[in-house]
Structure 1
Amino acid sequence: MPERRLSEIAQTLKQPTGIVGSEFVKVRKAAGAAGIHYDLWQQGLLYLLLARRADGKYACGEGGTVVSSCRQIGKTFTVGTAMFMLAILHPGLKVIWTAHHTRTSDETFADMCDLARNKLLSRYVERIRRANGQQEITFRGGGRIMFGARENGFGRGLHSVDVEIFDEAQILTVRALDNMLPVVNTSPDPLVVFLGNPPKPGDPSEVFEGKRAAALAGTDGMVYVELAADRDADIDDREQWAKANPSYPKRTSETAILRMRNLMTDDSFRREALGVWDAVSSHAAIDPKRWADTAVDEPDRDGLVGYALDMPPDRSSLAIGGAIRHGDGTMHVELREFRATQSAGTMWAVDYITEHWPRTASVAIDAQSPAAALLPDLRSRGVRVTVTNAQDMGRACGMFQDMLRDRKLTHLPDSRQPALAMAVANATTRNIGTGGAIGWNRTGGDIDISPLVAITLAMFGVRVTKRDPNRRQEVMI
């Protein structure tokens, strides 16, 4: 079977604009001298991964490179050998290679150690450290490739890293990404690579799904490669096997694939052997027509006022949601404030709530929200905060859906609150417990739903509060 280019076999291929050249030319030359040769599809992938813009920076430096494929395709060999060459070509380069499981990390480290024993390449290796949790290859030029498992906390505390490889990216959690991504912030020209397979049901795949969604939406500044069979393909079609796995049958034998075919369910085989993502059946949590129909330009602002604060997992923004409960039980919600924390910090929100507290019926913050870090400051200012839990969140989201359906909820037009509109349009639901309760969820790692969470909790707080700052007090002298 003749070799095919990456563009000929990729189910989806997205590349950044502004490419003027690629460092792969030097990498291929160095690898070739050591007896390492890349197939055409591997050459295409590495060309894009190492592509440069006119300013000399990596073209995918903003969004990274994402590869989704089936297993046993050779992506670890492809990227691993390229990183080895880069560490030789760039003295002082620091690379971290992290997988979710220790077993995967150990296997990758072992493969790279085999590479270090190459007669030509061994002269560039200073030493190999094999201690558990501190596995690394150090090069004579000062470069290092470090290996570790995210499940063991690898990567925390590291700094000044130039390249991050996230293996098993389909089980890369938002928390793990938040912990590890800042280590490349000080690099003048960082590279971030995500290697994964289509996630199984139940995998914590929010990051990987978010990167895929961003690529399919046309986000620039990133490379996205999806190698997969056609979605409606006959799963026993050998041509589809070759389309999904370009190493078949040259390096991945028919016996190896047949073993998976015989031992796996059809759905598992599509994911694991053919690289096909499960059909996305999730739908918007909030009906767009109902949301549009309940928008008002001049809302009724008489009633009890409540606020709530929320932040996304990466703490990049802070939202203050507001809700007004009217005497007839209806409500009006607004996004009162929404600011980026990098430029504005968070204390402005404490000042805002403190200023409005005398005329406020309730202030709510979820116990699991990053905004809970503001609780001590708010309490020191005399603000009594309702701290909600998962059960409260389920009740709040259910109340929101019911009131929207019954047209007992109003809000400002989307044009006046674009951040809230974006959150509403991109929110899905997640199960809370086993009793049917739901909470808001993000469609991708780049979506910020904190404005929606804030107004939802503001509604809940003002519904359950017993505080009424508008009540007249009878004073007996």
Structure 2
Amino acid sequence: MSSRGSGTSGAPGEPERLYGAQRPRIETVPPFTSSAGQEAVELAAVAGLVLDPWQKHALHVGLGERADGSWSAFEVAVNVARQNGKGGIIEARELWGLFLGGERLILHSAHEFKTSIEAFRRIETLVMNCDDLRKRVARVRRTTGEESIELLSGQRLRFLARSGGSGRGFTGNTNIFDEAMILGDDAMGALMPTMAAVKDPQVWYFGSAGIGRLSMQLARLRQRALDAAERGVPDPSLAYLEWSIDPHVTECPRDCTEHDDPAAPESVARANPALGYRLSLEHTERERLTMGPAIFARERLGVGDYPNDSADTWSVIGEDAWRALASSDSGASDPVAFAIDVTPERSHASICVAGASGRAVHVEVVDNRPGTDWVVERAADLHERWSPRCWVVDAGGPAGSLITLLEERLGVEVVKPKAREVAQATGQFYDAVTSGDIVHLDQAPLSTALAGARKRDLGEAWAWARRGVGVDISPLVAVTLARWGLTAEVEEPEEEVEPWAAFG
């Protein structure tokens, strides 16, 4: 994740102008030692194309190079609302590939023929109106379906429409996918095998917010970026940049400050880097009135509908295996351990318990509610009634902020597993389900969490992914930690000795 800031300015006595954020809200970039981005920016300027800071940033990270000169990012994705200037980045990248990069074939495709033709006409104008570039052109083909620019040195830029099935069999050094929110498996299946024979190829995706099942490829790229943010480690081959807001969810309280208000001008600035440059707030307000809130959120604020390959498919633990362990007669017996977890957005929190139930371990969601302001008092009530052997909270997770309050209120030290112990707890939970050594009450919050659960790498092991799963994962994390708490080392309080006992 990166900076979400936007800026304002204005002359004395004039209203301040709101400027769009020049850095994306979601970003992952593989490390690089140098970049051809500045060359692309300068060449674009020679052709009369002056770029905004955010466009320059996209080129800088997208054209990053490793020490051996190869691309640091095999795939580059720019996800931003319409009318912000994606076309300028595309044109600068294509000009660089043709005139400086020596790329033999650049393929530019769009979902619709008219979009592809419009892109061809824009870059043709840039090239033919610049003496330094025009004199290097051998021919420009304007025949329908054959639109291309070819240089005297043999480099070619071809324009295709994906909807017609064209492009199969071509092997491009660089492949530009415009309208990437309409890009599915067929197009990618036609492309990827051809790139195996190309030395140091690159794929660029340009699109706006996802529109459901048609946005499968963009959804996969976005999920990789979210996974990288969850791990805190960049994706090794993807540069992904997304300008969007983080909208409120249904469970948000009225005074929520953790999410962006779709009605606020600052939200428009956060999702539209061209605001104040080529896009005005007055225009976006007219759009808001015309579109309605849902469409405006998608088209102007970047709030997309992204399909998920593994959504609700019980991809980690099978549904049949989990349901088979349900038992309405099960219950936890002493000793018991409690655990607390909170979603990354702090929209929900869960308190869960684990205890022996015959030879198995009973796990249960004791409470699962919106927000976090209820957690400490509820924990105090449970602590008084159950006298558990321990309370477990992952100090590195969202619930870590509650630990001090919990310890003060409960009068005990909370057990704080290290990262390797969180991974061990997850592995032990998984193994217990596999061996049938867990029983549960088939509670909806826990089942829903398991249905949408995914893994995140944690060293050589894995733990539950909290971000990007689309469900409240806190019940699953909490029962996992509670089960681990049954055998975790707990520091027993020292027994107080009466002062006179030593002289008895």
Aligned-residue offset at 1:98: 0.5
How far the C-alpha of 1:276 sits from its partner, in A, is 1.8
Are residues 41 and 292 of structure 1, via their aligned partners in 2, closer, same or farther at CA, if it must alter by over 3 Å?
A: same
Aligned residue pair count? 302
Match of 1:277 in 2: 304
Q: Deviations over 1:180-224 (max 9, x none)?
A: 2233222211110111111224x4111111111112112321101
CA distance in 2: counterparts of 1:6 and 1:186, whole angstroms? 41
Is 2:75 aligned against 1:59?
Answer: no
Residue aligning to 2:29 = 15
Q: 1:230 and 1:427, CA in 2 relative to 1: closer, same or farther beyond 3 A?
A: closer
- What's 1:162 paired with? 173
- With 271-280 and 49-58 compared, the bigger mean Cα shift is at 271-280
Q: 2:129 maps to what in 1?
A: 118
Question: Is contact 2:21-2:270 (8 Å) kept?
Answer: no
Determine the C-alpha separation between the residues in 2 that align with 1:237 and 1:5: 14
Q: Does 1:286 pair with 2:314?
A: yes
Q: Secondary structure at the match of 2:181?
A: helix
Q: How much has 1:155 moved relative to structure 2?
A: 0.7
Call closer, same or farther: CA 1:240–1:26 in 2, change over 3 Å. Answer: same
Which residue matches 2:50? 37
Indicate how the Cα distance of structure 1 residues 241 and 290 shifts in structure 2: closer, same or farther if over 3 A, else same: closer
* 1: CA distance, partners of 2:21 / 2:279: 21
Structure-2-length-normalised TM-score: 0.54
* Partner of residue 451, structure 1: none
Partner of 1:96: 107
Structure 1 residues 7 and 235: CA distance shift in structure 2, 3 A: closer
In structure 1, list runs of 5 or more residues that go unmatched.
Answer: 297-410, 415-423, 429-442, 445-477
Instruction: Measure, in 2, the Cα distance between the counterparts of 1:111 and 1:32.
Output: 15
- Structure 2, unmatched stretches of 5+, are 1-7, 10-16, 229-234, 249-259, 326-432, 437-449, 455-467, 470-504
Once residues 31 and 129 of structure 1 are traced to their aligned partners in structure 2, the CA distance between those partners, rounded to angstroms, is: 22
Would you say 1:235 and 2:262 are equivalent positions? yes
Aligned-pair identity (%): 29
- Cα RMSD of the aligned pairs, angstroms, is 3.3
- Whether the aligned pair in 2 keeps the contact of 1:99 and 1:167 (CA below 8 Å) is yes
| Contact 1:167–1:196 (8 Å) recurs in 2 | yes
**Judging changes above 3 Å, is the alpha-carbon distance between structure 1 residues 145 and 38 closer, same or farther for their aligned structure 2 residues?**
same
Aligned amino acid, residue 313 of structure 2? A
* Inter-partner Cα distance in structure 1 for 2:176 and 2:216: 17
**What is the rounded CA distance, in whole Å, between the counterparts of 2:34 and 2:20 in structure 1?**
17
Q: Is the 8 A contact 2:22 2:273 kept in 1?
A: no
Q: What is the aligned partner in structure 2 of residue 220 from structure 1?
A: 236
Alignment partner of 1:144 is 2:156: yes
Residue equivalent to 2:187: 176
Asked whether the equivalents of residues 81 and 209 of structure 2 are also in contact (C-alpha less than 8 Å), the reply is yes
Judge conservation of contact 1:163–1:184 (CA < 8 Å) in 2. no
- The equivalent of 2:285 in structure 1 is 258
What is the CA–CA distance in structure 1 between the aligned matches of 2:270 and 2:71, rounded to whole Å? 29
How far, CA to CA, are the matches of 1:425 and 1:284 in structure 2? Answer: 5
CA distance in 1, matches of 2:91, 2:148: 13
Match status 1:78 vs 2:86? no
Q: Which has the larger radius of gyration?
A: 2
Distance 1:39 1:10, change over 3 A: same
Q: What is the CA–CA distance in structure 2 between the aligned matches of 1:280 and 1:163, rounded to whole Å? A: 26
Matched letter for residue 76 of structure 1: G
Kindly state the Cα deviation for residue 87 of structure 1 after the two structures are TM-superposed: 0.6
Residues 136, 144 of structure 1: 8 Å contact kept = yes
Q: Equivalents in 2 of 1:206, 1:34: separation in Å?
A: 35
Task: Note the C-alpha offset of 1:293.
Answer: 4.8
The two structures have a TM-score, normalised by structure 1, of 0.57
Deviation by residue 1:403-430 (Cα, 9 ceiling, x = unmatched): xxxxxxxx9779xxxxxxxxx97799xx
Aligned-partner Cα distance in 2 for 1:124–1:6? 37
